[in-house]
Amino acid sequence: MSIKYKLIGSFFKEQTKNECHCVLFKTNTYYKNLSEDHKYTFRIRTLIFLWTTNFNSEPEFSLNNSMKIIISSAFVQITFGLKINTLNTFNNIFITHKSYSYKNNKAVFDGDVNLYTKKVNMSWPAIKKGFEISDDAINLSIHEFGHCLIFENAEKSYFSKIFNQSDLEIWKIHATENFYKIKSKKNKVLRNYAGTNLIELFSVALEAFFEQSEYFEYNEPQLYLSMANLLKQDPRNKLNPIFK
Ligand SMILES: [Zn+2]
């Protein structure tokens, strides 16, 4: 177990860690399958994210701690192989009780990362469903946090990047190949929305990477392995997904 997380973990109350474990064990399949050591690190990282992020909701919706744990777990899952524990720019999360739309725009959203307000907006029913059905390659919070990582990585200086630059370049090569496959309806793994642009492709691919790992690797091994290298983990190894 990482000494760093053991030390940080000692600052959290046992009751807080237990509550976190119970929620994660019930709702997050990735967490449930981890080794005991990784489970410990995962819940400490979930609590770190939870305590460093501002969660807000519509007044008519009461956002409780269990919900915050579930949302935070999506971020920890994506970044479990990486060093990043928190978001710096997009650390304001706003939860709605249903799908929403913006003024003067008819489009209905379940989630978006707003580049002007720097807020991550998500609807609770879509977040919940994303975890309840863990093998359909649809998980809203994984999708939206994927956007946050790409935007924050772009803002950071060369030495503080979230992703290794050469891993990202290799990912882009395979992502571009898949982008054209989607356009010509030859991609079996990623849903068509990935054909919007490479930013959407990254988030859609993340959802499939975690929820349909075997199928993804079998059909698009190069893209799958470039994602694994980028994230320093392979979710097919359920007990210990992290690269050494
Ligand atoms: Zn998106």
DSSP letters spanning the chain: --HHHHHHHTTS-HHHHHHHHHHHHHH-HHHHHS-HHHHHHHHHHHHHHHHHSEEEE-TTS---HHHHHHHHHHHHHHHTTSS--S-SSS-EEEEESS-B--TT----BSEEEETTTTEEEEEHHHHHHHHHSTTSS--HHHHHHHHHHHHHHHHS-GGG-SS-HHHHHHHHHHHHHHHHHHHTT--SSS-GGGGS-HHHHHHHHHHHHHHSHHHHHHH-HHHHHHHHHHHTB-TTSSS--B--
Q: Encode burial over 35-73: b for 16+ CB neighbours within 10 A, e otherwise.
A: eeebbbbbbbbbbbbbeebebebeeeeebeeebbbbbbb
Can you give the pLDDT at residue 238? 98
Neighbours of 17 (CB within 10 A): 16
Distance from residue 144's CA to the centre of ligand 1 (Å): 6
Alpha-carbon span 72 to 120, nearest angstrom? 12
Residue showing tokens 């309806």: 185
Alpha-carbon span 162 to 41, nearest angstrom? 19
Instruction: Report CA 97 to chain centroid distance, whole Å.
Output: 20
Can you give the pLDDT at residue 16? 97
Closest CA to 128 of 112, 143, 139: 139
Q: Is residue 219 a contact partner of residue 189, using CB atoms and an 8 Å limit?
A: yes
The strand pair at 92-96 and 54-57 is best described as parallel
Distance from residue 202's CA to the centre of ligand 1 (Å): 9
Alpha-carbon span 30 to 55, nearest angstrom? 23
Distance from residue 82's CA to the centre of ligand 1 (Å): 21
Q: pLDDT digit of tens for each residue in the chain (244 aa)?
A: 788 999 999 999 999 999 999 999 999 999 999 999 999 999 999 999 999 999 999 998 999 999 999 999 999 999 999 999 999 999 999 999 999 998 888 899 999 999 999 999 999 999 999 999 999 999 999 999 999 999 999 999 988 999 999 999 999 999 999 999 999 999 999 999 999 999 999 999 999 999 999 999 999 999 999 999 999 999 999 999 999 8
Tell me the sheet residues that pair with 114.
Answer: 119
Specify the pTM. 0.96
Distance from residue 154's CA to the centre of ligand 1 (Å): 16
Distance from residue 18's CA to the centre of ligand 1 (Å): 33
Distance from residue 44's CA to the centre of ligand 1 (Å): 28
Can you give the pLDDT at residue 60? 87
